[in-house]
A and B are shown apart, each in its own frame.
Chain A
Amino acid sequence: MRALTILESKAFELTVCRLCHQLIEDHGHLGGTALIGLQPRGVLLARRLRKELVRITGEKDILYGELDITFHRDDFRHRAVPAIPAATDLDFSVEGRRVVLIDDVLFTGRSIRAGLDALLAFGRPRSVELMVLIDRRFSRELPIQPDFVGRHVDSIDGQHVTVEWKETDGQDRVLLNPVAR
C-alpha cells in the first residue's frame, strides 16, 4: 500500500495561512504573544508561521523561540535509539506572555507535556496554547488538546504521519504512511 497524501503543496500553504489568521483573530495585537516551536520538527512550522505572520501583520518583532525537550521526555530510557538534543534558542522570559507552543504532529501528547515542563524554566506565562499542523485524534495518552489545528487525521495504530518541508525535504506535503510490515 502506498502512502496517502493528506495535504499537498497548495493546501499546505493555505492551511499555514489559515492558522496565522486564526491566531491573529484570537490574539488581536501580537505584542504579548510568544511563538515557541518545539525541536526538532515543530520549529519548521514555527519558522514558517513567523514569516507569514510578519508578512500579514507587518509586525517585525514578534517574540519567537525554539525549545528542545529531550531532557524532559518521560520515555528517554525506553527508546531504541538515543535521543540527541537539539538547540534551545529562547532568549526572553515568557513571564506574563501568551505563549503558543507549536509542533508539527500531535499524537500521544507526551512531547507537549515535556514541552510544558521545559517551558517552566523560562518563567510563568499568562497562558499556554497549542498549535499543531496535524492532530492525530483518538491516540492521546494524556489529557492534552490543541487550540489551533491545521488538519485532523483519524488513523490506526502503526500508521505514521510524515510532514515534509520545502526547506528540508524539497516540497511541502503531509503523508499518511501505511502500517509497516
Chain B
Amino acid sequence: MSDALGTKHLLGIDDLTADDIDLVFRTADGFKEVLARPIKKVPSLRDITVANLFFENSTRTRISFELAEKRLSADVVNFSSSTSSTKKGETLIDTVNNILSMKVDMVVMRHADPGAGVFLSRHVDACIINAGDGTHEHPTQALLDAYSIREKLGRVEGVKVAIVGDILHSRVALSNVLCLRKLGAQVMLCGPTTLMPHHAKDLGVRIAHDLDEALRWCDVANMLRIQLERQGGDGIANFPSLREYAMLFGLDRRRYEAIGKDIVIMHPGPINRGVEITSDVADSASSIILHQVENGVAVRMAVLFLLAGGMDRQPRP
C-alpha cells in the first residue's frame, strides 16, 4: 500500500515535499468546508485511537488537535505530564509503550526535548505527530501559518515573510523557515543578535536586526512570542529588559503606520500583549491571528486524515 503522504510520521517539515504540503492544503480546504457545516463531523477516523501526549504545557495546540481528532470521529485519550507517572520517574519509551499496549494507533506529542518525536518513532510502533519538540520543530504550526498566508494572499510562492523575535528559542521559526522555503517564499529572520541562532545563516534566509527594515521589506510579518520560560538560567539573560525589547522589536500602531503599506500580521500565540505586539495591531484588520487558530483545526484534520490514509489497517502483530 502506498502512503498518501510519502511519510509515516510527521516529525518535522523535512518529512514533507512541496507536493505533500500542497496535498495537505487541498485536503484542509475540504475540511474548512466541513467546519462551516451545521454538523462539523465526519466519520473518517472512527476506527482510530489517538493519544495526545503533552509533556509540556499547551492550550491552543492541544485543543486544536483534540478538536481535529474529534471532528474526524477518532477516539481520543489525553495525557499531560503534570498528572502522570513521568513524575514518578518512568522513561518516555515506557510511558508511550504502556499507552500503545492499550491499542492506540497515533500519537500526538509535545515534549521539551528536541528530537523526542524522532527518538520515539524509532522505538515504538505507532504513527507519531510532533506537536512541538523543545526548540526544534513545530510542523503543524508551520503548515497552518503557510496555509493562512495562502488563504489571505492567494499564494505562498514569492511572498516575502519576516519572522520577528525570539528566533533562538523558537521551534515555530525553524519549521516556518523550512516550510516557507519549500513553497518558494522569501524569508527574513529578524531579532536581536542574542536571540539569533548561529545556524540561521545556513538556512538560506535574510537576516536583519532592525525591525523597521524588516517591516518595509516584507508582505507578511510573523511576530513570535518572547519565550520567557526558555530564557537562560534565572530569568532573562538574552536581552536587558522586556521594556527595551518592546521598544526595539515590538510592533505597535506607530511603527505599523510608518511602513506606508499594508502588510499581513501573524502571531503563533500565546501573545505577550505589549511586548512583541501591541493590542491595537494584534486586533486590527491587518491581523490574521484568529484565522491562524481557525485554520489550525482544518490543517491538523488534514494531517491526521492523510497520515491515517497511509496506515496499515491490519492489526499489529
Chain A residues with a Cβ under 8 A of chain B: 68, 70-73, 76-88, 93, 117-118, 120-122
Contact = CB atoms under 8 A, between A and B. Distances in A.
A84 B37 CA distance: 19
A84 B27 contact: yes
Interface of B: 1-2, 4-5, 23, 26-27, 29-31, 33-34, 37-39, 41-44, 72, 305-306, 308-309, 311, 313
A72 B23 contact: no
Nearest to B308: A77
Contact of A82 (B39, B309, B311): B309
Contacts of B23: 82, 84
Contacts of B26: 84-85
Given A80-B2, A84-B27, A122 B309 contact: no
Given A71-B305, A79-B309, A88-B30, 9 more contacts: A70-B30, A71-B72, A77-B308, A77-B309, A82-B23, A82-B306, A82-B309, A84-B26, A122-B37
Given A76-B44, A80-B2, A85 B27 contact: yes
A121 B36 CA distance: 11
Contact of B37 (A76, A82, A85, A121): A121
23 contacts: A68-B33, A71-B30, A71-B42, A71-B72, A72-B44, A76-B44, A76-B305, A77-B308, A77-B309, A77-B311, A77-B313, A80-B1, A82-B4, A82-B5, A82-B309, A84-B26, A85-B26, A85-B27, A85-B30, A87-B33, A88-B34, A118-B42, A122-B38
Contacts of B5: 82
Contacts of A71: 30-31, 34, 42-44, 72, 305
Contacts of A68: 30, 33
Mostly, the A contact residues are loop
Closest 10 pairs (CB-CB, A-B): A85-B30, A82-B4, A71-B42, A121-B39, A71-B44, A121-B37, A88-B33, A77-B313, A77-B309, A80-B2
A103 B1 CA distance: 28
A76 B309 contact: yes
Most buried by B among A70, A73, A81: A70
A84 B43 CA distance: 16
Contacts of B72: 71
Contacts of A88: 30, 33-34
A84 B236 CA distance: 47
Most buried by A among B1, B29, B30, B306: B30
B2 A85 contact: no
B151 to A, nearest CB: 15
Given A121-B37, A122-B38, A81 B311 contact: no
A68 B32 CA distance: 13
A84 to B, nearest CB: 6
Nearest to B305: A71
Most buried by B among A68, A76, A117: A76
Contacts of A84: 23, 26-27
A122 B37 CA distance: 8
A90 B311 CA distance: 32
Contacts of B306: 82
Most buried by B among A77, A85, A117, A120: A77
A148 B90 CA distance: 63
A79 B43 CA distance: 17
Contacts of B39: 120-121
Given A72-B43, A78-B313, A85-B27, A121 B33 contact: no
A126 B136 CA distance: 54
A79 B310 CA distance: 9
Nearest to B3: A82
A60 B313 CA distance: 48
Contacts of B42: 71-72, 118
Contacts of A122: 37-38
Contacts of A117: 43
B290 to A, nearest CB: 24
A122 B41 CA distance: 12
A68 B23 CA distance: 17
Nearest to A85: B30
B48 to A, nearest CB: 9
